[in-house]
Copies of this chain bind each other. A is one copy, B any other.
């Protein structure tokens, strides 16, 4: 990540930082998403995030104040991305597919975004924590509200859609694809629960061994 960005010049009157703070910020948030996905909120350390982003640990803390703030920003960023993808699917002119199908594909496409779904899932099991719990509930309900009021689903459809999403998240969280080759039941379940994008899951499994 040693890029061609402006570097401080010796003697320059106003040293230019290595990178815009906003770019570093995004870099750190992306790294944090991946680390939190792997280790969970408590299990992840600010040092692991820093190393993944190529900066120092105190810098991460300095930029976000606390680890909790960092995680909250990660959740917000992930949710924002999810909403963007969903809104695109809703507005999609492709009429050959049902809206439900388009949203399903949109959800599964988020697998490409490293750690996004799993970071959210880690937030979803921490309802006990005051701030994280509040953010998780609000985020989850934002998605439900979108399904109900923007996508036009009824309560049952929205609930079923979310249920399948949570199953997918669980299959990612357990790294079920790791056992793909060792059990016929696993193959069957994975192929039933996510016929599309099975290849992505299996690649994730291989990559991070």
Contacts and interface: CB of A to CB of B under 8 A. Distances in A.
B162 A167 contact: yes
A38 interface: yes
Contacts of A42: 39-40, 42-43
Contacts of A163: 160, 163-164, 166-167, 193
Interface residues of chain A: helix, strand, loop or mixed (majority): helix
The quantity of this chain's copies bound in the complex is 2
Interface residues of A, number: 48
B137 A40 contact: no
Contact of A166 (B118, B167, B175): B167
Nearest to A139: B174
Interface string A140-180: 11001100100000011011101110110110111110110
Given A141-B186, A155-B192, A186-B141, A178 B121 contact: no
Interface string A107-126: 00000000000100110111
Given A170-B140, A176-B137, A159 B193 contact: yes
A42 B33 CA distance: 18
A137 to B, nearest CB: 5
A140 B178 CA distance: 14
Interface of A: 38-43, 118, 121-122, 124-128, 133, 136-137, 140-141, 144-145, 148, 155-156, 158-160, 162-164, 166-167, 169-170, 172-176, 178-179, 183, 185-186, 188-189, 192-193
Nearest 7 CB-CB pairings of A with B: A127-B175, A163-B167, A166-B166, A125-B173, A163-B163, A42-B43, A42-B42
